[in-house]
Structure 1
Amino acid sequence: MPAILVIASLEGHPGITRADNDVRVGIQSVSSVLGAGLLRVHRSCTGLLDEIPSLSLLAQAQVNAVSTDTKVPILHPD
């Protein structure tokens, strides 16, 4: 167990566990909420807007690997 988890437990935070650093779930979640219109990105966030199309393609590739029935939209900034 990493030292930080031992220290956290000793300090009264026993529910802390190792993180799952797999980014696929996060990419799929963000793509889903963007596609559903539940999350909007301001035009001043140019770095994110430039990156969204590649993240959407990655999410689509992952979805296609799991199920050909599910579609994740490729989003293009306005």
Structure 2
Amino acid sequence: MTEPRELTATDAIAAQELTDIIAELEEYRERLVNDTLAIAQRAKILKSQALAQLEPYLNEIDAKIQELRTHQAALITNN
């Protein structure tokens, strides 16, 4: 069994970049939901209807965030 090696500088930078990208996607997701609900309220659209329309996009964002977290974990674990 091989022992894990320490993160190289390149790996550390890649891991930090992934952390930053994940944070940005999470902020974008939150803004998207908040803005959509604010517009729906002004347009007198039910919250459930607005969220139903938004759900496919949120699922895509969530899937991408999970993919990036998995990649980040693999990067850290394999080193």
TM-score, normalisation: structure 1: 0.34
Of Structure 1 and Structure 2, which has the larger fraction of its residues in helix?
A: 2
TM-score, normalisation: structure 2: 0.34
